[in-house]
Amino acid sequence: MRRNSSRGRTSHTPQFRTAHRRSAALALAGVAALIAAAVQTGAASAAPAATPRPATTNPAHTALRLSPSQRAELLRDADATKAATARSIGLGSQEKLVVKDVVKDADGTLHTRYERTYAGLPVLGGDLVVDTNKSRKTMDVIRATNATVKVPGLTPKVSRAAAEQQAVRRAKARGGTKSAASGVRKVIWAATGRPVLAYETIVGGLQDDGTPNQLHVVTDATTGRKLYEYQGIETGVGNTRYSGQVTLTTARSGSTYTLTDDSRGGHKTYNLGGGSDGTGTLFSQDNDTWGDGTTSNAATAGADAAYGAQETWDFYKNVFGRSGIKNDGVGAYSRVHYGDSYVNAFWDDSCFCMTYGDGANNAQPLTALDVAGHEMSHGVTANTAGLNYSDESGGLNEATSDIMGTGVEFYANNPTHPGNYLIGEQLNINGDGTPLRYMDQPSKDGSSADSWSSSVGGLDVHYSSGVANHFFYLLSEGSGAKTINGVNYNSPTSDGLPVTGIGRDKALQIWYRALTTKFTSTTNYADARTGTLAAAGELYGTSGAEYAAVEDAWAAVNVGSRSGGGGGGGTGSTYDNNTRTAIPDNGPAITSAITVSGRGGKAPGNLRVNVDITHTWRGDLVIDLVGPSGKAYRLKNFSSSDSAADVKATYTVNAAAETADGTWKLKVQDQASQDTGTLNDWKLTFP
C-alpha cells in the first residue's frame, strides 16, 4: 500500500504496492495456432454465442508439484544446456541465457524462464520463456521483446556521474532524501523496442512518507535521455484484529514460544517496535497465546501477520502446488510495527520480507489477510514473470496481487471475514467504510479503469489494474447483479453483453498458469489476453466453456473479440487476412487486401479494424484503412516518441459512406529508419 502524497495527489488513500529488485531480465504450438490475435476492441452489439459446455482440467497440462530437489535438478539441467538453448533459439554470439525458473507439466513439457545478457551486460526486457516437449524439442519461445539484441558499441558517451545525478533528481522529485545513488550499472535496455546501451541507477533511502525508497532510473548511455523509471518499493495494503481467533503454527524451545513456522519454510514474524531498519525482535513469550485482538497488544499485529503468511503459503501450495514464494521451499519473514503512524505495507524482494505499518495514529495496523496475500503475491510475480512496474505491465503486476490476495481470502474461508471481491475493505483507510478497490466495477473507487483504452497505460498502476481485476471478476462470477457471502455486486461490461463466469477456482488456475508460463516483463493487456487464452486452452481445451469465457471476459473489458467472432458472436461477421507481410524500414507502404461480398448496402458507422503488427519502435508506423472507394481512413499516426514495440489494437471507423462489398485494404508504412517489422494479421468486423 502507498500514500498518494508522494505522487502529487492530495488524498491520503493508500494503494497496495510491493517492493522487489528489478530482474534483468505462448502457448504450446498446437494451442498457439488456435488463439485469436490479442487486440484491444471497441463496443459490440450482437448477442453472445451459445455457452460451450464446461471442461475438466487437462491433466497433461497441469503443472507438477516438484519437490525442492526435483526443481533444483531441473534448474541445474537447464543451466548445463543454456548455451545450446541460446543457439537453438537464434541468439547472437554475444548473448547468454541465465536460468531463472522452471515449470514442468505432467506430460513432460518444460516451461523454462530465462534472463539474458549481452556482452556480459544484463538485458532489461530480454527475458523469455522456452517451452520444450518431453523429448526436449523446442516448441515455443515467448519473448519480452522481439527485437534483435545488438548495440553499436559498449562505450558510453554519457558519464556514469551524469546518469547518477539524473536519477537522484528524479528520486528527490518523488520524495527521496538521498543525495547519491546506491548503485549504478551498465545494462542493455530492450524493454520498449530498440535495444540501447544504458545505465540503470538505483537511489535508496526513504520517501517523504517513510516508505523505503528504491527508485530505478534507466538512462540512455549515448544521449542521456531518461528511458524508464520505476519505484522498486511497491507498497500496498492467535487473537488477531481482523480474522478473529485462529490457529497458528509456532515453535517452542524449552519454556519459550516464538512466532516461527518451521512447517512453512521457517517463516518468522518480527516486531520492529517503530523502527525502520533490520529485522527487529522475533516475537517470543512464555505462552502460546498471541495477542488479544486490540492494537494496544503488540502481538496482535504479529498474530495477523503470521496468520497471513501461513494462509498465503497454504494457498499457493494447495491450489497451485507452489512451495513458497520462490517455489524453493524457503519461507520469507514478516515485520510489523514499522515506523510511526505509517499508513502502508510493502513487500521487498531484496530482503525477501513483508513489512506492515500501524496506520494513522498507530491505531490501524495494515495486517489484514488480503493485504498479506496481495503483498506476498508481488514476490511471486517478481520471481516468475517479473512484470515491469509501469505502464500496462505495471497494472497487470498490481492486478495479479489483487487477484491472488482475493484468492487467499476465499481460500482461508475464515468465518470472521468471508472472502469477497473488495480490496482493503477492513482497513477503513478512506475513513468512510469503503474499500480501496472494487473488482466487480473498479471505477467505483473514483479512479480505476473498468475497461481498456489507449490511455490506460498512463494511469497509476493501482488504477490501470482495474482492467485485469474486472476481467478476473467477470471470468469468475459473470456479469450482472448478485450477492456473494453477503456482499452485493453488479458488474457491467463495456460492450453491453453478458458474461457467464466459470468459477473462481478455474479462473485462478488460468491466471496462475499464464503468470508462470506465458507472461514476461513487458506483457501488456493484449498479451495478457493471448497468455490467458493459451493457459485456458492447455488446461481445459479450446472448444469448451472456459476458453470461450476467457474471450468473452476480455471482450467485456474492451480487450479482444467475443467468442462468437467479430462483435460478439451471433450476427457479427469477421473477414480476415492472415498473410504475413514484411514492412520495409523507412520504405514504401505495404498493403494487404480483404474482399467483402454478398453483404449489400453500406458499411457500418462502427466498422472495426483489428490489426496485429510486430514492429520495434511502433511510433515509426502510419496505418490507414482504405475503403472500396479509395478513401483512406487514418488509424494510427506517426509518433517519434512512442518507443514501445508492436501494434496489437482494434480501431473503430465510421465507414458509412462506403459500400460494404468490395476490396478493403490495410496500408502500413514505416516512416523512420532503424526498425523493421511484419504485418501478421488484420481483420474487418461488421457488427
Give yes or no: 61 in active site: no
Q: How far apart are CA 549 and CA 501, in angstroms?
A: 7
Question: β-strands 573-577, 632-636: how paired?
Answer: unpaired
Q: How far apart are CA 649 and CA 651, in angstroms?
A: 7
Write the DSSP assignment of 518-558 as a string of letters: T--TT--HHHHHHHHHHHHHHHH-SSSHHHHHHHHHHHTTT
Percent helix, strand and coil across the chain, each to the nearest 5 = 25, 25, 50
Quickly count helices (H) and strands (E) in the chain. 12, 32
- Say if CB 543 and CB 52 are below 8 A apart: yes
Name the DSSP letter for residue 423: E
For cell 525482535, the residue is 281
H-helix segments, 483-622? 504-517, 525-540, 545-555
Write the DSSP assignment of 140-159 as a string of letters: EEEES--S----S-S--SS-
- The residue annotated as part of the active site, out of 20, 267, 462, 470, is 462
Give yes or no: 375 in active site: yes
Closest CA to 191 of 201, 182, 200: 200
Which residues face 260 on adjacent strands?
268
Q: How far apart are CA 97 and CA 83, in angstroms?
A: 7
Q: How far apart are CA 456 and CA 680, in angstroms?
A: 25
Q: How far apart are CA 619 and CA 644, in angstroms?
A: 7
User: Exposed/middle/buried for 492, CB within 10 Å: 0-12, 13-18, 19+?
Assistant: middle
Closest CA to 261 of 316, 351, 336, 324: 324
Collapsing DSSP states into helix, strand and coil, what is residue 258? strand
- Say if CB 320 and CB 57 are below 8 A apart: no
Closest CA to 518 of 534, 504, 503: 534
- The residue annotated as part of the active site, out of 95, 234, 311, 375, is 375
H-helix segments, 434-503? 461-464, 466-477
Alpha carbon dihedral 208, 214, 218, 223, in 10-degree steps, equals 50
Active site residues: 375, 462
